[in-house]
Amino acid sequence: MGVSFDKVDGIIWFDGKLVPWAEANVHVLTHGLHYASCVFEGERAYGGEVFKSREHSERLKRSAQILDFEIPYSVAEIDAAKQLVIEKNNLPGAYLRPIAWRGSEMMGVSARSNTIHLAIACWEWPSYFDPVERLKGIRIDMAEYRRPDPRTIPALAKAAGLYMICTISKHAAERKGYADALMLDWEGRVAECTGANIFFVKEGKLHTPIADCFLDGITRTTVIDLAKKRGIEVIERRIMPEELTGFSECFITGTAAEVTPVSEIADWKFTPGAVSKRLMDDYTFEVQPKGRKAA
């Protein structure tokens, strides 16, 4: 096990100020902790530039609005703060975690007047999965929990509370020797993994679930655009588990996972092939800073 995250040596941007890592604390009676009134982003910097920083900051603001609070910083201010954190920590290749939450002024369910806080941290985080395992395709189990009906929860926000069943499902999968778990939606259709969107390949075409009860990931939309530039047809549709037998390739996408091939989902087998490899390579090129692309 590495260093505990509360003991990392670094700088965190906290409510408009740079503070030592160890001093970026909140009180135990914080509304965001007790009632999950908290939203966040996961982002990566490559060569000192945050990939699609503006899109992430816009989504952070949008997620907060869905949870009925307003982050007191503009998109431009959030983007600048992220860049400052990277520079002050001297981490040109980093994972970033902007997070916004309701404070401690009121501890009832209603907390409309609570102060809204924003913090941004960054740290080193290489590929989400073991490099050797990633190239041959990871193994995924089926999750017990399902993504809920969007009429019951703010499914389109990147909100902390939505990840509770993801943590439970990923832990269960890891205990059985899998890298992740595939979650169905409330109607039993293929949805997503615990922290990544999923794609399948059939006869050279990409198939992916419609993102209406889970997050339409920024990496997901990037890969869809890259596929279309390659002339690969992308079909967003409802996918039932029994259809998995008919797919030849599978991969997942996310800021942490990037583009990672899948070799197995429970009893279904896949062979990472040309489409997965092409999109892995295209994504790797896409995230490079503009100067490096032109070089």
Q: State the catalytic residues.
A: 158
- Beta carbons of 71 and 79 less than 8 angstroms apart: no
Rounded Cα distance between 128 and 258, Å, is 8
161: its two tokens: 């509370």
**Burial class of residue 77 (count of CB atoms within 10 Å of its CB; 0-12, 13-18, 19+):** middle
Rounded Cα distance between 248 and 228, Å, is 19
Rounded Cα distance between 120 and 73, Å, is 12
Long-range contacts of 220-228 (CB under 8 A, 24+ apart): 220/253, 220/254, 222/52, 222/253, 222/283, 222/286, 223/199, 223/253, 223/259, 223/279, 223/283, 226/279, 226/282, 226/283, 226/286, 227/279
- Beta carbons of 54 and 213 less than 8 angstroms apart: no
